[in-house]
Structure 1
C-alpha cells in the first residue's frame, strides 16, 4: 500500500456518541472531564465510538486552536478504550477545514467528517463535492465522511446526488452521517452505497426507521445517555423482534416529546447529560443559552421514569 493510500479501517457500524464539549463554569475547555466521559460511555452506555467537535460538541462555536486541543485530547484518552474517534473538521472556511483535517491525520484520528459550509452555501451537488474534495485531499489516509444536516446548514442538496462518483474524486470516502428526515434520499443513498461505506443516521427519534432502510449505525447526542437502550433497540431489530424495537423507539420519542415542550435544544440537552451522567460538562457557549436547572431536572426525572437502569 502506498503512503498516500487511505487507511484500511474497520467498517463503522453501531452507535456513535456525538460528544458534548466539556467547559468550565467560565466557558473554557475542561479537558479533565474527557477521561471520565469516555469511561461513562464505554462502561455505562456500551458506546464504543465517538464523533467529536460536531453540532453537539459546539464545534462551530470553537476556535480552530480549541478544536485541535479537543481532538487531540479525545484521541489520546480514547486510545485502547474506544473503537473509533471521528473528528469533525468542517468549517465555513475551506482553509480552516484543511488545517483541522491535517491535524486530525497528525493525531491519528480514525476518520474525519465534514459539514457543508453554511454562509456561502454550495448551490448544487458539484459545488459541494468540490469543497469536500479539497478538504479530503490534505488528509488522504483518513476515512472521510460527509455530514449532512440540512436543518442547520440550509444546504438541501440531495445526498444521493452528491454521492454520484464521489469515490472517484475522494478515494478515502467511506460514508455519510445523515442527519436529515428525507427517508427517500436516505434509502437511495443506502441503495447506491458499496459494501465498504457506512450510512449512519443522525435523527435519534427515528433510528428504527433508518435501520429498516438499511443504515449501518447511528450518530447522535442522546446516545450519550440512552446508548444502552438504543443498543437494545438495534439488537431487537437484528433479531427480528420488531415489537420490542418499536417499544424502545417509542420510549425515546416520549422522552424527547416531553423535552421539546420545555424547549429542548443544545443547552437543555447538555444539562440533561450532566444530570444523568454525573459529569461536569459545564454550560454551553453563547449564543446557546444555559438551560434552566429546573427544566433539566424535570427531564431527568422523566428519563428515569421511562428508562430502567441498564
Structure 2
C-alpha cells in the first residue's frame, strides 16, 4: 500500500524549523523532534516547511535539505510526511515538488502565492496545476490560508473541477475561519480526499462539518490533549471535548494578548518539549523572555495534570 492509498486524517503537526544559534538550519534536532511527537504527543503525521516552519524565510536549497531529513528520519515512525512546496515563484515551487517526489514524500501541499496574487479561482487553480505537474503521482493538497496570503478566493471555488486538472488531488488544509466555505468543501470532495482543518482554537467547531483531521502548530505540544478531544467527540462526549477546546482557547487568547506569532509559538514549543529549536529567522522576532515565562506558566496552569 502506498501513501496515495492512505487517507490523511486525525492530527498532523505543522513542524517548526530548527535553527542553530547562528541562524542556520539544524538537522540534528529533527530525529529527536519526531520521537517527541510520536511518543509524547501521539502525533503520527507531519506537515513540514509550512507557515510554522518559516518556509518563506528559507532558501530553496534549505527547504530541500530539510525535506530530505524529515522524510528520512520519519521513515518507519510517522504515517505520512507532507512537504509544503509553495513559493512566490512557480519555478521554485515546481523544483521543490519534483524534489519531494524524488525523496519519497507522502504528499505535497501548495499555498497561494502572496505577492503577485491570483485574483480568481481559475488563476489559482492554474498555478496549483502547474506545480502538481512536476510531481504528477504524488498526493496533492491545496493549502488555503486567506488571512495570511491575502488571496480571498473561496476554497470551494478552487476545488471546482480540480481533480480534472490535478488527478492526484487528495484534499486540502483549510486554515480559514469561514466554516460555511469549509462545509461546502467537505460536501464536495470525493470520499478518498481529506478535509483538514487548520484553525487550532476552533477545531471542535469544524468536526461536525466532517473534518477528517487537523493540521496545526499547537499539536506539536498539545497533541496529547487534542487527541483526547477527538476521542471525546467520536464518543459523543461533547462536554469533555468542549472542556479541552476551551482550555486551548484560553491559552491562545492569552498568548495573542502577548503578540502570539511564530516566534512566541516556537519558544513555547522549546519550553514545553525541552527540544532546542532555536530562535526564529528575521523578520520574525524572538519571544521576549518575560512573555515566555508568563506563557509557560499559563500553559502549565491549564494542561499540567496533577
- Normalised to the residue count of structure 2, the TM-score between the two structures is 0.98
User: What is the Cα deviation at residue 301 of structure 1?
Assistant: 1.1
Please name the residue that 1:79 is paired with.
75
**Cα deviation code 1:24-80 (max 9, x no counterpart):** 111001100001100110000000100000000000110000000000000000000
Deviations 1:167-213 (A, max 9, x none): 00000000000000001100100111110010000000000001111
Aligned 8 A contact 2:3 2:80 in 1: no
Tell me the secondary structure at the aligned position of residue 4 of structure 2: coil
> How far has the Cα of 1:225 moved from its partner?
0.2
Equivalent residue for 1:234?
230
Aligned mates of 1:272, 1:144 — CA distance in 2: 31
**Contact 1:150–1:180 (CA<8 Å) still a contact in 2?**
yes
Work out the CA distance in 2 between the residues paired with 1:87 and 1:30: 18
Matches within 5 A, 1:233-272: 233-272=229-268
Partner of 1:122: 118
Whether 1:200 and 2:177 are equivalent positions in the alignment is no
Which of these residues, 262, 272, 280, is aligned with residue 284 of structure 1?
A: 280
Aligned 8 A contact 1:275 1:297 in 2: no
Alpha-carbon distance between aligned partners in 1 of 2:255 and 2:122, rounded to the nearest angstrom: 39
Q: State the distance in 1 between where 2:251 and 2:172 align.
A: 27
How high is the TM-score relative to the length of structure 1?
Answer: 0.97
Q: Which residue of 2 aligns with 1:46?
A: 42
- What residue number does 1:30 align with? 26
Deviation track 1:212-256 (CA, whole Å, cap 9, x = no partner) reads: 111000000000000000000000001000110011000000001
Give the equivalent residue in structure 1 for 2:290. Answer: 294
Q: In the TM superposition, what is the alpha-carbon distance from 1:124 to its structure 2 partner?
A: 0.4
1:163 aligns with 2:159: yes
1:151 aligns to 2:151 (yes or no): no
Residue 8 of structure 1 deviates from its aligned partner by: 2.9
CA–CA distance in 2 between the matches of 1:196 and 1:106? 24
Q: Which of 125, 130, 136 in structure 2 is aligned with 1:134?
A: 130
The question of 1:100 aligning with 2:103 is answered: no
Q: Say which of 102, 109, 127 aligns to 1:113.
A: 109
Aligned residue pairs, count: 305
The structural deviation recorded for 1:309 is: 4.6
CA distance in 1, matches of 2:265, 2:147: 18
Is 1:218 matched with 2:222?
A: no
- CA deviations 1:247-289 (Å, max 9, x no partner) are 1000000001111111111100000000000000000000000
Structure 2 portions without partners, runs of 5+? none
**Unpaired segments ≥5 residues, structure 1:** 1-5
Return structure 1 stretches of 4+ with deviation > 6 angstroms.
Answer: none
* Maintained 8 Å contact 1:225/1:276: yes
> 1:9: how far off?
2.8
Q: Aligned with 2:286: secondary structure?
A: coil
Question: What displacement does 1:7 show?
Answer: 6.1
CA 16–7 in structure 1, closer or farther in 2 if over 3 Å, else same: closer
Determine helix, strand or coil for the equivalent of 1:8: helix
